[in-house]
Structure 1
Amino acid sequence: MQKEPLRIDIISDVMCPWCIVGYRQLAQALDSTGTDHEIHWHPFELNPAMPPEGQDMIEHIAEKYGSTPEQSAQNRARLEALGDELDFKFGFADGFRMHNTFNTHQLLHWAEEQGRMHDLKQAFFAAHFTDGRNVSDVNVLADVAAEIGLDRAEALAVLKDQRFADTVREKEAFWQRQGIQGVPAVVFDRQHLVTGAQGVENYTNILHHLAKEEA
């Protein structure tokens, strides 16, 4: 009897640099262990009250976490080094901004209906962190969708009529009720919760442990 693929639920936000770091680390562990798996992405907003114009990242980090400019610079350097290890470029240029991501989550839900959520999620991470594009702008979001082969006009229509707004809010509320207060949060096999970017070695150990449990 063939085993089912390992279900992996990832709760994350496009604004979260540790979400793309954690995913890339997990992906390396999955690849090295040859784990048969299926990934399901779920919405979380780090800054649901973020205004449409966004906010300068350094200013935002200082306000939210009390970080000094020096601490913020050290954190960015650490992320850039991790990105280099994981083949992901962080482009933290001067004026880099944080954005509201409610619309990105709606487009991701729309993409899921076409089997393209994972691809669009990766494209949004790159658009924001690598290219510094304004992902609060509906035209930019539609452009990114079109760049991976989705219908640009339909993407704009989805954002204009907000047809998935209630669905996204329900999904966000579900994970909040499960106790998820920060991201990345990864749930293996619907029962094992792991929070934060764990590193390739830790993810590998987790996968080995789950495989032994299954056996």
Structure 2
Amino acid sequence: MTDVKAPVPLPTLSESAPIKVDIWSDVQCPWCYIGKRKFEKGVELFGEDVEVEYHSFELAPDTPVDFDGSPVDYLSQRKGLPVDQVHEMLARVTEVARSVGLEYNYDAVHQTNTIKAHELMHFAKKHGMQAEMKERLLSAYFVEGKHVGRIDDLADLAQEIGLDRAAAHAALTDARYLSAVKDDVAQAEAYGISGVPFYVIDGKYGVSGAQNPETFQNVLEQAREERQTP
């Protein structure tokens, strides 16, 4: 589904400024990683640079950091879904992920609470490496079976992309960016965002879900054309 409503009035942007795309997503959202690949392809088709900023959205804030079970257990126990149905769902999303070059490994996934991962994203943003951190977290969770809920593990991932491990660890330990995460969540509620991924393009167009690359291309082109129209 593609919405075309302006969430909030924004100041007029220069034609020369890159199109701004605000993305709400969660580290443990399989469609967010798939959507990321499709969006990247859409930007490639668009042919111009865009400015991307990621925002926090928690799909399962009640999940313990060390959930005792698999994603199948979580979805069947917490969501009340039949186990066979869950297996079918995961097989389907794994196949879709493979179609965009991602090899999901649900047998190794650690279901967890992602609040600290979101805090780490804000830490990375502060140091100009938010995009790199997002990719690393998604790959760690869905492909490599790494834990993205514990501070020590997250600090290791931060170090892997070139951030200071001790500084990341300290920021997560004292919850320095927790308020920023909550602000993102509150903004999502204000926009009426109930699921992710959700893309707000140039402050005007909302695109919901892992749409085809051509959809992203078309909305980006429309945003560009509107900037050029007196």
Normalised TM-score (structure 2): 0.86
Residue deviations 1:155-174 (CA, integer Å, cap 9, x gap): 11111111111222122112
In 2, Cα distance between equivalents of 1:64 and 1:200: 33
Instruction: Provide the identity percentage.
Output: 33
Residue matched to 2:53:
40
Alignment of 1:93-112 (within 5 A): 93=107, 96-112=109-125
| 2:60–2:113 contact (8 Å) kept in structure 1 | yes
Residue matched to 1:56:
70
In 1, Cα distance between equivalents of 2:49 and 2:131: 16
Residue matched to 2:94:
80
Question: What residue ranges of structure 1 are gaps of 5+ in the alignment?
Answer: none
Using the TM superposition, give the Cα deviation of residue 10 of structure 1 relative to its aligned residue in structure 2, in angstroms.
0.2
In 2, Cα distance between equivalents of 1:136 and 1:144: 11
In 2, Cα distance between equivalents of 1:125 and 1:79: 15
Q: Aligned match of 1:142 in 125, 130, 155?
A: 155
Residue deviations 1:117-157 (CA, integer Å, cap 9, x gap): 11001100001000111111211101111111111111111
In 1, Cα distance between equivalents of 2:227 and 2:77: 45
| 2:24–2:197 contact (8 Å) kept in structure 1 | yes
Residue matched to 2:11:
none
Using the TM superposition, give the Cα deviation of residue 65 of structure 1 relative to its aligned residue in structure 2, in angstroms.
4.1
Q: Aligned match of 1:174 in 176, 187, 203?
A: 187
Using the TM superposition, give the Cα deviation of residue 56 of structure 1 relative to its aligned residue in structure 2, in angstroms.
2.2
Q: Aligned match of 1:3 in 12, 16, 19?
A: 16
In 1, Cα distance between equivalents of 2:180 and 2:216: 31
How many residues end up aligned between the 2 structures? 214
Question: What residue ranges of structure 2 are gaps of 5+ in the alignment?
Answer: 1-13
SS in 1 for 2:195: coil
In 1, Cα distance between equivalents of 2:221 and 2:84: 39
In 2, Cα distance between equivalents of 1:214 and 1:88: 35
Pairwise CA RMSD of aligned residues? 1.8
Amino acid at match of 1:62: S
